[in-house]
Amino acid sequence: MDEQNKLQNLSTEFKIFLTLKSFMTFGGGFFYVLLPWMIISLTGSPFLTGAAEGIVAIPLLTSFIIGSLIDKLKNKVNAFAFSVLGIAFFSSFLLFSLYTGVTYLVIIAIFVPTLIISYLEDIQATISSFFDKILLSRENLKKGVSLRRGTRSLTNIMGIVIFALFISFGLRVSIYFLMVIYLLSFFIFLTIRKSLSTKKSQNDSTQTARPFYGLTRFLSFPLMKELTFIAIVGNFFFGMIIVGFTVMIKIYFGLGGAYLSYILGIFAIGDGVGSLLTAKIRSARGSIVALSMIILGILFMAIYLISSSHLYYILFPVVFLIGLIPGITNVLIYGFMLKNTDEKIIGSTFGSFSSLFGGVTFLSSMISGGILVYFTAPNLFLLMGVSILIVGIISRIIFRRLNAVSL
């Protein structure tokens, strides 16, 4: 009953915004699988598959600039609307890759619109953090963040699973379907735009903030330095997951795109379940973060052992757990950041963090593509597992503030 009352206390505006973001995430889940599958299908190159994932992360390198600009932007609602429409428009450019057999033209036709779409998604994500801050009360912060992240994961799953159906009709039909999803998202946004516009910030959104001011202020807390280090390391290796699974399914196992959809769908289910379960945690100690790294390291090494035996169906429960653990820890980290960040510099803060995480994701995607040129996908997961396990053990021993604090 208590949890139901908390849910009822969430504002109508937040519920409307939650609906919009869920629909957009549905399209994002579809694109999440479509992009690497297009590259590996049209070029057959693991390196280019990794490069494509690196392209997605490039806009995050400049998120600190985008975030500071959004802090000073008066009409964030219109900016959000243009980003949604822009994503729908530029997704149509992917069709050009299907009409040429020349590799470099295929790369241009995929990489350029993907880069633009990624920039627009970065803008949208930063503004979303602003909406979360003003639409959620402090009492409902953990509940709202848990619900939004959980719902995001579940709709992401739907997009991933639907891809398994549409890819059977070919890449062209899949791209058309993606365009329809984003166009519908834009029209849905038009129906709720007025509701979002009525919720105004109480702070001066035009206040000038240095691009890295939010980050330096946040990192003035010793605890946040430890937490940020673990987040960066985790982000680095998680940037390799999509590339690793794509190459494993297509080249190592020799299976179709539907199986990649199943693997990534199960990963998203785990993330969604973990996010929703976090709402029931009343007091979680920071030690759960370091322990999670240790468990993830063991799970990645398990993937190496399982895939080496070609028993791919045993991967499903392991992949679920790999999604479950970050689903819990990410909600706690994001909620703590929102609670301790002033609304007027939230763009700079989250933009700066996106730049840090985007940089390591870009590097990890490129590095994983290079590794897979010479080694098999199982070896990539073994490397990831050993590295994360070592970081987790070191964090558990050394990071005393993180292990003692309650999140």
The amino acid that residue 218 corresponds to is F
With a threshold of 0.75, does the pTM exceed it? no
**Band of pLDDT at residue 400, cut at 50, 70 and 90:** confident
Domain 2-197+212-404, what fold?
A: Growth Hormone; Chain: A; (1.20.1250)
Q: What is the per-residue pLDDT for 5? A: 47
Number of other residues whose CB lies within 10 A of the CB of residue 405: 18
Number of other residues whose CB lies within 10 A of the CB of residue 54: 21
CA dihedral 37, 42, 47, 53 (to 10 degrees): -40
Q: What is the per-residue pLDDT for 197? A: 67
Q: What is the pLDDT of residues 362-372, one digit of tens each?
A: 677 677 777 88
Q: What is the pLDDT of residues 343-386, one digit of tens each?
A: 666 655 666 666 666 666 667 767 777 788 778 888 888 988 89
Residues whose CB falls within 8 Å of the CB of residue 163, separated by 6 or more in sequence, listed in order: 29, 30, 33, 34, 37, 174, 257, 261
Q: What is the per-residue pLDDT for 346? A: 62
Q: Is the pLDDT of residue 4 over 60?
A: no
**What does each C-alpha distance from 115 to 62, 112, 185 come to in angstroms?**
13, 5, 20
**Band of pLDDT at residue 204, cut at 50, 70 and 90:** very low
**DSSP state string for 49-68:** HHHHHHHHHGGGGGHHHHHH
**What does each C-alpha distance from 318 to 70, 263, 300 come to in angstroms?**
39, 10, 8
Q: Is the pLDDT of residue 89 over 80?
A: yes
The Cα 141–Cα 240 span in angstroms is 31
Q: What is the per-residue pLDDT for 168? A: 80
pLDDT > 70 in the chain, percent: 74
Q: Is the pLDDT of residue 341 over 70?
A: no
Q: What is the pLDDT of residues 34-76, one digit of tens each?
A: 888 898 888 888 888 878 877 776 776 666 677 667 777 777 8
Q: Which residue has the higher pLDDT, 343 or 188?
A: 188
Q: Hunting for tokens 């240095």 — which residue is that?
A: 210
**DSSP state string for 76-114:** HHHHHHHHHHHHHHHHGGGGGGGG---HHHHHHHHHHHH
Residue 310 gets the label, from left (phi > 0), alpha (psi -120 to 50) or beta, of: left
Q: What is the per-residue pLDDT for 298? A: 92
Query: Which is nearest to 230 in space by CA: 152, 294, 300?
Result: 294
The Cα 43–Cα 46 span in angstroms is 9
Question: If you ran DSSP here, which 8-state letter would residue 250 be given?
Answer: I
Domain ranges of the chain: 2-197+212-404
The Cα 95–Cα 106 span in angstroms is 10
Q: What is the per-residue pLDDT for 223? A: 65
Q: What is the pLDDT of residues 269-312, one digit of tens each?
A: 888 788 777 767 666 566 777 788 888 899 999 988 888 777 77
| Burial (CB count <10 Å: 0-12, 13-18, 19+), residue 204 | exposed
- The chain-wide mean pLDDT, for the chain, equals 76
